[in-house]
Structure 1
Amino acid sequence: MRPIRGSLILRVLVSTALGGLLVLLVGQFVDSQTPSMDLRSLISTELDEDTPSPSLRKFEWQARTPHPLDLRYPHSYPFLLNHPNKCDGPRGAPFLLMLVMTQPQDVGMRQAIRETWGNETLIPGVIIRRLFVLGLPPPLFTKEIHTLLKEEDKEHGDLLQVGFLDTYVNLTLKVLMGLKWMAQYCPNAQYVLKVDGDVFLNPSFLVQKVLQPNGPPRPDFITGYIYKNTGPIRNPAYKWYMPQELYLQDKYPPYCGGPGYVMSGPLALRISDVAQTLKAIYLEDVFVGLCIEQLGVKPTPPPPDTFLMFRRKYEHCAFHRLALVHHFQPRELLQIWRDFQSVNTTCPVK
């Protein structure tokens, strides 16, 4: 394997350090459980370099909602960085639209993805378009990170920033706003992939073995790792806590695991519509499961053991038979990608 370029590794390290600094400092000022906010007044001042920032006290007041896990949706969140012409072009609508969830400070992660599985030209003859979906950084860093994001977006043209605070509990909003963007600007995409940034993705396997470009249309198609017969966790000490006032039932409907799932374009449009009629909950994969249940759709099983929700050590032949592996960091992607792309004639045929 050739040495990894120093500049790219530096970006990854700087991004990681910045992320850690954000967590440490913001935790002193902003409740990490705050899910959503009305940012219209904040956007008009905080992002204007010639206007002083509002006080932290005002920001905290704006950030409060009636319940710490209560999401405001539907709501007129603005697209602050947008590319409405992303899906236009002489070759027609994309076969696959990738909506990649990252945080504003994840500069190194986004660059690593562009250099690896997020490369739009990886599969000859297949039109792929990539957008990184992100919200707003914590208030202490809004102006600085906004300047960096503008520069990054000017260079790559692939950031979709939406006007709400970027937190874990707002992930549902990120997904829904990504689907809203698709409905407005890319409604003819054949498939839509929702994927987190901390994964290994095998686009060739996903396209050729799972989506099958030459296969028949599948308007009600959604697949990934399918969770069945799971129920809400009622203990607030856990990350996936679900209070009873937000979800009364003892079981969740079948749903595809959040690290990565793919759906047909027509179903993505229907999910975007029906989501506006349901009470949004902060577990985005469960909420998408509630949406498809409302539509009378069940997830389609993928090829067995191809969407892994757990960490797996890299092995060339094994990874060529996988669609997705969770818990991969940017530096790891860069280290394995050249070997992954190389041809290995010793791999057994399965």
Structure 2
Amino acid sequence: MEAKPSGLQPLRPVATQHPLEVVYSSNYKFLLNEPNKCQQRTPFLVLLVISEPSDVAKRKVIRQTWGNENLVPGVSILRLFLTGVHPVFGLPLQNLLAEESSLYRDIIQQDFLDSYNNLTLKTLMGMEWISKFCPNATYVMKADSDIFLNVDYMVSQLLQPHLPAKKDYMTGYIYRNTGPMRNKAYKWYVPREVYPNDTYPPYCGGPGYVLSGDLAMKIYQVAQTIKVINMEDSFMGICLHYLGISVTDSPWGLFNMYKKDYEKCTFSRLVVVHHFGPQELLKIWPDFQNQNKTCNS
């Protein structure tokens, strides 16, 4: 039996923490929330999109493209942007965020600082929201804001609404036998004080992965009992390890962690392509949605 990662004990007092240790609390307060979204509907898929408070343009483009809730006929999709508090312009941005939130009703925010080191907190906020306000969701997708996402293909090929819902399910681009970056020069630097092991359990790459609604609730619960680390996707793998649940392999090539040049027929059979900015999305989307241009299956 595989040994559990050591050193994942409860957080030490803040005064003795390493600067990169993530201070996780189940008591973070919602500054912006949509608690009633799932009261009148049972979403088949909830899109949880990671967003910075200042990313107004990205959110606008995502709403117009792959984040459109009406993209897949007959399938109930719910879109939410997850954000924290801007570390410098928190107050002035808060008024703008509140205005945007009142207009689109799709922004969730808690009172932690919005930073790369706190990406784990954003994802856990999403898991908390599912647990408390949308436990009836069938599937959940965590998505970064700089991706191309083919929701229709993902729903039809992976999630298959006509079949019974999968349980304890998480899939994406799976990393195995990888370990923490110990070089401070990397943005992915994780010191031994934060995570002492040389390898992570298998995990799905952070730009985009999908999980069953029941697993979102289990991750939220187990995260409150173990030490949180600053690498969000790796931490999801640690949570699964503690739960005794394995990641599920997806067909090879559906989830791309690197940039690919756009070509409609290629992209029509992909789920995720990383490193797509808002202007690129706007440029390719009309062609991608063009029903007159068919592709051979």
1:171 aligns with 2:119: yes
| Distance verdict in 2 for CA 1:346–1:118, change over 3 Å | closer
1:232 aligns with 2:180: yes
**Could you list the per-position Cα deviations for residues 52-80 of structure 1 after superposition, in whole angstroms to 9, with x for gaps in the alignment?**
xxxxxxxxxxx998321111123411100
**Could you list the per-position Cα deviations for residues 233-269 of structure 1 after superposition, in whole angstroms to 9, with x for gaps in the alignment?**
1111111111112212111110000001000011111
- Aligned partner of 2:20 in structure 1 is 69
Q: Which has the higher helix share?
A: 1
**2:228–2:235 contact (8 Å) kept in structure 1:** yes
Report the AA paired with residue 70 of structure 1.
E
1:134 aligns with 2:83: yes
1:278 aligns with 2:210: no
- Aligned partner of 1:335 in structure 2 is 283
User: How many angstroms does 1:108 deviate by?
Assistant: 0.1
1:123 aligns with 2:61: no
- Aligned partner of 2:158 in structure 1 is 210
Q: Once superposed, what is the RMSD of the aligned Cα atoms?
A: 1.4
1:108 aligns with 2:57: yes
Distance 1:101 1:307 in 2: 17
- Aligned partner of 1:245 in structure 2 is 193
1:93 match: secondary structure: coil
User: How many angstroms does 1:329 deviate by?
Assistant: 0.2
| Distance verdict in 2 for CA 1:320–1:65, change over 3 Å | farther
| Distance verdict in 2 for CA 1:66–1:297, change over 3 Å | same
Report the AA paired with residue 280 of structure 2.
E
Distance 2:151 2:92 in 1: 34
User: How many angstroms does 1:144 deviate by?
Assistant: 1.7
2:205 match: secondary structure: strand
User: How many angstroms does 1:348 deviate by?
Assistant: 2.2
1:258 match: secondary structure: coil
**Could you list the per-position Cα deviations for residues 139-190 of structure 1 after superposition, in whole angstroms to 9, with x for gaps in the alignment?**
3x22221111111111111110110110000000010011101100001100
Return the index of the structure with the highest Cα Rg. Answer: 1
| 1:1-350 matched pairs, under 5 angstroms | 66-89=17-40, 92-139=41-88, 141-349=89-297
Distance 1:65 1:160 in 2: 31
- Aligned partner of 2:6 in structure 1 is none
**2:87–2:115 contact (8 Å) kept in structure 1:** no
Distance 1:155 1:233 in 2: 41
Distance 1:75 1:86 in 2: 21
Report the AA paired with residue 206 of structure 1.
M
Distance 2:116 2:160 in 1: 33
| Distance verdict in 2 for CA 1:179–1:236, change over 3 Å | same
Percent identical pairs in the alignment equals 54
**2:153–2:269 contact (8 Å) kept in structure 1:** yes
| Distance verdict in 2 for CA 1:272–1:75, change over 3 Å | closer
**Could you list the per-position Cα deviations for residues 190-226 of structure 1 after superposition, in whole angstroms to 9, with x for gaps in the alignment?**
0011110000000101111111111223211100000
- Following TM superposition, the consecutive aligned residue runs of length 4 or more in structure 1 with deviations greater than 4 angstroms are none
| Distance verdict in 2 for CA 1:188–1:65, change over 3 Å | farther
Report the AA paired with residue 83 of structure 1.
E
User: How many angstroms does 1:346 deviate by?
Assistant: 4.7
**2:141–2:211 contact (8 Å) kept in structure 1:** yes
Aligned residues: 284
2:82 match: secondary structure: strand
Higher relative contact order (CA 8 A, sep 6+): 2
Distance 1:217 1:154 in 2: 33
| Distance verdict in 2 for CA 1:64–1:249, change over 3 Å | closer
